[in-house]
Structure 1
Amino acid sequence: MRLPAVLVLIVLTACSGEQVEAKQAVGGATGCPHVGGMIEGPYVAGESTARSIAQAVVEQMQWHDLQAEYDLNIRDDGDAWIAFQSPKERQDVRGGGGLTMRISKCDGAISSMHWQR
C-alpha cells in the first residue's frame, strides 16, 4: 500500500520543524553557526554525549583512585554543558578538588577547565 504524497510531505515537514526547533534551542535564534564544508551542529546535543566527553578528560587528568571520590555532574547552561565533579557523600572527603569544564553544544569545544577549590 502506498502512502499518499500529501501525507509523506506532512511527515517530512514535521520532522524538519522538530530538527530546526532543536537547533534553535541549542544555538539561539539562528542555531549553531555553519562552517563551510563541515556537518552542521550541534555535535553535543545530549547530556550523555557531554558526560562521555567529560569522563574522557577526567580519566586523562586525574588519578584513578581520586576519581572514585567524586561524582560527575552535568548541567545544561544554554549553549553549553557544564561538567563538574562533586565530592561523594563521605565523611573523609572535603569539598572541592574536582575538575570543572564547559563543553560547547555546537562544536564540542572544551573551555574554562579548572580544578575547583
Structure 2
Amino acid sequence: MEIVLAVAIGALTSCGVWLLLRPRTYQVIMGLSLLSYGVNLFIFSMGRLAVDSEPMVSPGVPATLLRYADPMPQALVLTAIVIGFAMTALFLVLLLAQRGFFGNDHVDGVGDAE
C-alpha cells in the first residue's frame, strides 16, 4: 500500500511540475491543481496509513498512538482542499480576463510565432 501511495504522490507531483512549466495559462492552472493534489496526499500520508483506526480518543481505551489515527493531517488536507478550490476558481477568472485582454492564453501574453 505504501508503494502505491508513493508512486501516486510522485506521479502527481512530477506531472504537476511539468505542467507548471508549460507556456499556456490553462496548463499552468492544471499543473497547480495536480501539484496540490500530490502535496495533499503527502500530508495525508504523514498521519500513518492505519486501517480501522479511530481519529478520536474513546473513553476507557488507553490513549496510545498505536490505537488512533492522527487527526491533524486530516484537518490540514481538508483546509488545503478548500483553499485549492478557491485558488483554482480565482485563476480561472484571471485566465478568462487575460484571454479577453490579449486574445490568447499564453503566460507571457505573447502568442505563437505571429
Structure with greater strand percent:
1
Larger helix percent = 2
User: Greater RCO between the two (CA within 8 Å, min separation 6)?
Assistant: 2
TM-score norm. by structure 2 comes to: 0.24
Q: TM-score, normalised by structure 1?
A: 0.23
